Amino acid sequence: MDIELKHCPFCGGDADLLEVEPNGSYWYIACVECEAEIRRYYLMHNSPARREVDRNKARNELIKVWNKRFRGRKK
């Protein structure tokens, strides 16, 4: 499932989604303007199928968090 990556919630700048594997196995989103960032780690399983499920789940959860916007104070 592809989820659209919105602009930065802080400055409105473009954001990049990157995957870092060699030393950590995580997804990373960073704003190219203000350098706000967020990351989500996933487990390195021995089973390639299980690893792919966790990898995609981490990616989608990260994008959902990045795309979340403040809607005002709850009363």
Residues 6 or more apart in contact with residue 9 via CB below 8 angstroms:
36, 66, 67, 68, 69, 70
Which pLDDT belongs to residue 73?
66
What residue ranges do the domains of the chain occupy? 15-67
Which pLDDT belongs to residue 25?
85
Q: What is the model's pTM?
A: 0.81
Residue range 16-65, pLDDT digits in tens? 999 987 656 899 999 999 999 999 988 777 788 888 888 889 999 999 99
Distance CA 43, CA 46 (A): 10
Does residue 71 or residue 65 have the better pLDDT?
65
pLDDT band at 1 (very low <50, low <70, confident <90, very high): low
Secondary structure class of 40 (helix, strand, coil) = strand
